[in-house]
Structure 1
Amino acid sequence: MSDLEHIRTWFDEHLPELLEQHRVPSAAWAVLKDGEVVEGAHGVLNLATGVTATPESVYQIGSITKLWTSTLVLQLVDEGLVDLDATVRTYLPEFAIADEAAAEAITVRQLLNHTAGFEGDIFTDTGVGDDCVEKYVATLGGTPQLFAPGEQFSYNNAGYCVLGRLVEVVRDTTYDQALREHLIGPLGLRHAAPSVHEAIMHRAAMGHLESGEEGTLEPAPFWSMARSNSPAGSTLTMSARDLVAFARMHLEDGVAPDGTRVLAAGTAERMQAHEVDLPELGLMGSSWGLGFERFDTPDGPIVGHDGSTVGQGAFLRMVPAEGVAIALLTNGGDMISLYHAIVGQVLDSVTDVHLPGLPQPPAEPERIDARRFVGTYSADVFDLTVSQDDDGRIWIEQVPKGLFIEMGGQVERSELVAYRDDMLIPVEPDRGMYMPHAFLGDDGEGNALYLHLGRAVRRAGA
């Protein structure tokens, strides 16, 4: 029996139990090795309707869309239409944020590798028309600059919307149509939908969120986020097999299965290569490329991306040295723990590269003076306030704003303990994960300037 047949058997035997254990309504999966693919699905796409998942079912891939956006941009680079190190204003003269000097300096590369430095969690809904991305970019004029362009990594959804608009302008088309013409079509994908209107033509998953004190899973209050954020990952929907077909093109030097060249020779490798390091957060990669998240393990790099939308979670992992790709698509519950159990098992079975362990709080955390960390850190979607009580315990309170309120966000208070130098970690998991909190920089008075959670959240008033 081949490695892939062993994988199929393992999924058949274990996926139903794992879904029940982690309270995930359904999952679809696909594994690629040496040009061959196995796939499957189990569970219920929508708890309100009882429609079951099949391998052809489509799920939102969320921020994995950023790999598609970066691929569209690199196609333009291949064609000589865009220079990675040219400023964004070379192609979008109207691009504006609050810091004019930064707006003039930010480059295409800095948008791709998340070092542009402006506030990134901006989810303004500018309608459903074909001009929605253009209108979205026009709303960024008051967006604050958190640090100088190129200074550090801070995950930036808004930056990828700007890249989507760049694609629209240079291609003279809409973002959705660019996906169809330059990726979905050339890759021969049959179950991929850039828009809500196309997704409904397929067997589409519904996201689920926890409700009430019991944490009961219920269908999300709406299906997708705003179309204006589509280049960052608000609408693109597909089957696990189609997501793996996209990964295969990147593993095979930009060539589609039928021989169509989608990227120039060497471009896929450039996209996966190291560009910038991250704080040691554990849940995100250790470094980033031109779109690709990188896990730099002792056994070699794993590359890919995650995606999270309204009650749906998607995971893509690739081992370039071994020609392996894994896609896992889910629609609620403890999706992170399910991902780690499944993708870890697959990697152990068919590669010599192992998934890094998830961060855990220490059994006996050290008591520390947290004065450097105490204060409020503010972003567009939440305020985070760190405090230390008279007993020396450290707390963080999250107050949702904007989109997070619309998605049902509530004020949450949780305890943090010492983790590593200038890092704290929650005592209790959130959706199956313990997210390390890194405190970086100095506000000039000995306090941390940023609370880094994959994105840099700046101290309020500093």
Structure 2
Amino acid sequence: MTLEAVETWIAENLPALIEKYDVPGAAVAVLADGKVIDAAAGVLSKTTGVEATADSVFQIGSITKVWTATLVMQLVEEGKLDLELPIRTYLPAFKIADESAAVKITTRQLLRHTAGFEGDIFTDTGVGDDCVEKYLDVLHEVPQLFPPDELFSYNNAGYTVLGRLVEVLREKPFDACLRDHLITPLGLTHVATSPYEAILHRAAVGHLQPEPDAPFEAAPIWALVRSNIPAGSMLAMRPRDLVAFAKMHMDGGVAADGTRVLEAATVAAMQEPQVKLPELGLMGTHWGLGWELFETPAGSGSFIIGHDGGTIGQSAFLRVLPEKGVAIVLLTNGGDVISIYREFFSHVLEALAGVGLPALPTPPADPQPFDATRFVGRYSAEVFDIDISQADDGRIWMDLTPSGIAEEMGEKPERKELVHYADDSLIPLEADRGMHMPHAFLGDDGEGHALYLHVGRAVRRAGS
């Protein structure tokens, strides 16, 4: 299918898709054959009724991490940073509860989410230019979950540390680093690094459900705390500008006007698999330096690269096929975002690249009895507690209790029945937001119980 045919399909189907999946508003952009098309549908806020347009800015959430990784790799190219040296070499103020780990953790480990300390720390350190610097003090009592490089565990805090590293080596606030070293060289015009910039554009507002099955309502807060901007708390842009960033990575580090932003070898290194993940459903199969990697078809060694992002009621999806010259962006402000992502990307990827999205995991049609004794117990993280139990009738249950930022982002307590999936993993019997996410149980606490429950984060057994 040609790009023009895809453009026609989007114009005809995007309004129906947002209605089907209760998405208030969405904006998309697609790159193929060196051309970009974009479109939007719905509203930016149910409260105001302002129409979404292709130039509207939506928060990109954790896709920001690829931007942060790009800033870090620019410093490597300039000889100001060595990925293999401990982060303490450049950030003497970096301190966590486990001093023996703190002195070993490297920039590379932070980039690929293998540093091993608790990562969901969203403490507000103010709105001043020193907020990222102050954030380092918040980490002093953060526990080490596992030795550096032992596992993958998604780490927001680690990327905020990387943001501080960029600030120190550039001698200016992170927002200014984004502006001077990426936004301006790429010629981007609809990008906001703060609410004060976002208000200059048509800006999307996130939507949350006050109760399960209730209608989505405009969120009372526009963004997460400023200190976490290197991890994805508030960077916003239109889809076309996010595609321009992706195109630079597809074109060997060169911007549209010929400006070199990264060396081609650096671009390639960022896309190389660094660590393999447990099977987790929506997340990738591997991680690179910043990039999330999706192997397709399984075991082929060929990857879709990308990243997802989620903030307060806003969700973002970026997928890039460098070999095909294709990049796709979907930005949304609420609703059943996983389902609209799956339907939209499945059609466009197949049409332009002949590639399908990897199939999502599903529970067995006929679940067999399974002894979950090794998995039973409480697993605790900064933003939630998860209790795994097995009833007398053999049924396995997961009870999740959110706290902190997870509650602010609209998460509610939930109870799910799990069944055996494969090896040391369980899977929900019922779909949640369009997917069944496997729960992998790893390690041993010395008493025959799993030490970690892995759901993208390695959540440690309480008391171990």
Q: TM-score, normalised by structure 1?
A: 0.98
Q: Which residue of 2 aligns with 1:255?
A: 254
| Map of 2:6 onto structure 1 | 7
Quick one: which amino acid aligns to residue 117 of structure 2?
A: F
Which amino acid counterpart does residue 168 of structure 1 have in structure 2?
Answer: E
Q: Residue 340 of structure 1 aligns to a residue in which SS?
A: helix
Equivalent residues in 2 for 1:1-40, closer than 5 Å = 3-40=2-39
What is the deviation of 1:408?
4.4
Q: Aligned residue for 1:325? A: 327
Deviations 1:298-343 (Å, cap 9, x if unpaired)?
A: 2621000000000010000001111110010001011011001111
Q: Matched residue of 1:101: which SS?
A: helix
Matches within 5 A, 1:55-70: 55-70=54-69
Please report how far the alpha carbon of residue 211 of structure 1 lies from its aligned counterpart in structure 2 after TM superposition: 2.1
Once residues 362 and 308 of structure 1 are traced to their aligned partners in structure 2, the CA distance between those partners, rounded to angstroms, is: 29
Q: Spell out, residue by residue over 1:209-237, the C-alpha distance to the aligned partner (whole angstroms, 9 max, x if none).
A: 11235421101121100001100000100
Following TM superposition, by how much is the alpha carbon of 1:353 offset from its aligned partner in structure 2, in angstroms? 2.4
Whole-Å Cα distance in 1 between the matches of residues 220 and 451 of structure 2?
Answer: 36
- Residue in structure 1 matched with residue 228 of structure 2 by the alignment: 229
Name the SS for the 1:417 alignment partner: strand
For 1:411 and 1:193, the matched residues in 2 are separated by 33
Is the 1:23–1:333 Cα contact (8 Å) retained in structure 2?
yes
1:367-406 aligned within 5 A? 367-406=369-408
Contact in 2 for aligned 1:206/1:219 (Cα 8 Å): yes
Instruction: Determine helix, strand or coil for the equivalent of 2:304.
Output: strand
Counterpart of 1:47? 46
> Whole-Å Cα distance in 2 between the matches of residues 53 and 406 of structure 1?
24
Alignment of 1:41-120 (within 5 A): 41-120=40-119
C-alpha deviation, 1:104, in angstroms: 0.1
Q: Which residue of 1 aligns with 2:431?
A: 429
Identical pairs, percent: 64
Give the Cα separation in 1 of the matches to 2:46 and 2:175. Answer: 29
How far is 1:265 from its partner?
2.4
8 Å Cα contact 1:207-1:220 kept in structure 2: yes
Contact map agreement 2:312 2:410 (CA 8 A) in 1 = no
User: What amino acid maps onto 2:251 in structure 1?
Assistant: E
Unmatched 5+ residue regions in structure 1? none
Instruction: Give, as a single letter, the amino acid of the residue that structure 2 aligns with 1:223.
Output: W
Question: 2:312·2:408 contact (CA, 8 Å) conserved in 1?
Answer: no
Instruction: Name the SS of the counterpart of 2:180 in structure 1.
Output: helix
| 1:3-40 deviation line (CA, Å, top 9, x unaligned) | 11011011011111111111111110001113211111
* Alignment gaps of 5+ in structure 2: none
User: Could you say what secondary structure the match of 1:345 adopts?
Assistant: helix
Residue deviations 1:339-370 (CA, integer Å, cap 9, x gap): 01111111100113221012222221111000
Contact kept? 1:116, 1:150, Cα under 8 Å: yes
What secondary structure does 1:231 align onto?
Answer: helix
- Residue 337 of structure 2 corresponds to residue 338 of structure 1: no
Structure 1 equivalent of residue 279 of structure 2: 280
Structure 1 letter corresponding to 2:367: P
Alpha carbon RMSD of aligned pairs, Å? 1.0
Identify the residue that residue 309 of structure 1 maps to in structure 2. 311
Moved more, 7-16 or 232-241: 7-16
How many residues are aligned here? 461
Cα 1:239–1:408 change in 2 (3 A) is closer
Distance 1:395 1:379 in 2: 18
Q: Partner letter of residue 6 of structure 1?
A: A
1:146-295 matched pairs, under 5 angstroms = 146-295=145-294
Q: Deviation at 1:252?
A: 0.3
CA contact (8 A) 1:333 1:431 kept: no
